[in-house]
Amino acid sequence: MSKTPTRRASKPAAAPAPRHSAGRDESSVQAIRLVDLFDLHHAPGHLLRRCHSRARAIFDELVGRRTGLSKQQVAVLIAVAQSPAATHAQLAEETGFDRNTLADTLDRLIAKGLALRQRSQTDARAYEIQLTEEGSAQLERLIPLSFEVQAKIIEPLPDELRPQFLECLRMLAGVDSVQEEAADDAARSHTSRPPKKAHARMR
């Protein structure tokens, strides 16, 4: 009796290899490695944001809750007091606020009766800002608190590092360059005018 030949079981077809899987794996590994290299505790932007949050909390505790004023409003009050009859453009340059932020801040100060806006006596197209009597009185009460806020902000720093820290902040904010440009403009304006004595001799 002849044996029926047995059929060998056919092997299942191998599944097709996914396309570009190696490339995707390499990209994932590359991304993970880059993420591992990014340390938030050494990222300037992240650290500045945390410092800003801390400074805002200190201001709110010592000034904001007592007076109902914001940091921007206090800064504008100080700038107006230091530059009486300043225009919007001058205050924007002094405070570093954009025009919209400055206009909104001034509107709020005027609504509180702390400042007033009037036409410039030298330029009919511009407005000058001045403090009211109430604004000056409010500022007198604010200045000691503002000094306390600044001292509290840099309190964690050793005394010997504070001047260097402030210098670095001024460099980052571009404050020195703005003041230098203003000083150069003032110097050019002064030198462009003939001296009074020479002008008198020419008459």
> How many domains does the chain divide into?
1
- Contact residues for 123 (Cβ-Cβ < 8 A; gap 6+): 87
- The string of pLDDT tens digits covering residues 171-203 is 999 987 655 555 555 445 444 444 444 444 333
Q: What is the pLDDT of residue 63?
A: 97
Residue 92 vs residue 28, higher pLDDT: 92
Given a contact cutoff of 8 angstroms between Cβ atoms, the answer to whether 165 and 157 are in contact is yes
On whether residue 128 sits in a domain, the answer given is yes
Tell me, yes or no, whether 120 lies in a domain.
Answer: yes
Residue 101 has pLDDT above 80, yes or no: yes
Q: What is the pTM of this model?
A: 0.70
pLDDT digits (tens, 9 = 90+) for 117-133: 988 877 778 889 999 99
- Does residue 193 form part of some domain? no
Confidence of residue 22 (pLDDT cuts 50, 70, 90): low
Residue 131: inside a domain, yes or no?
yes
Task: Select from 32, 133, 99, 112 the least CA-distant residue to 70.
Answer: 112
- Region for 96 from its dihedrals, namely left if φ exceeds 0, alpha if ψ lies in -120 to 50, beta otherwise: left
The predicted model gives 104-122 an average pLDDT of 93
Q: What is the CA radius of gyration of the chain?
A: 33
Check residue 24 and give its pLDDT. 59
Is position 58 within any domain?
Answer: yes
- Residue 112 sits in a domain whose CATH number is 1.10.10.10
Closest CA to 178 of 112, 53, 79, 92: 92
**Parent domain of 104:** 41-176
Q: How far apart are CA 49 and CA 70, in angstroms?
A: 18
Residue 132, pLDDT score: 96
Q: Does the structure show a pLDDT above 70 at 166?
A: yes
pLDDT at 191: 44
- Give a yes or no: residue 195 inside a domain: no
Please indicate, yes or no, if residue 2 is contained in any of the structural domains.
Answer: no
Give CB contacts under 8 A, 24+ apart, made by 134-137.
135/77, 135/80, 135/109, 136/81
The answer as to whether 23 is a domain residue is no
Residue 166 vs residue 27, higher pLDDT: 166
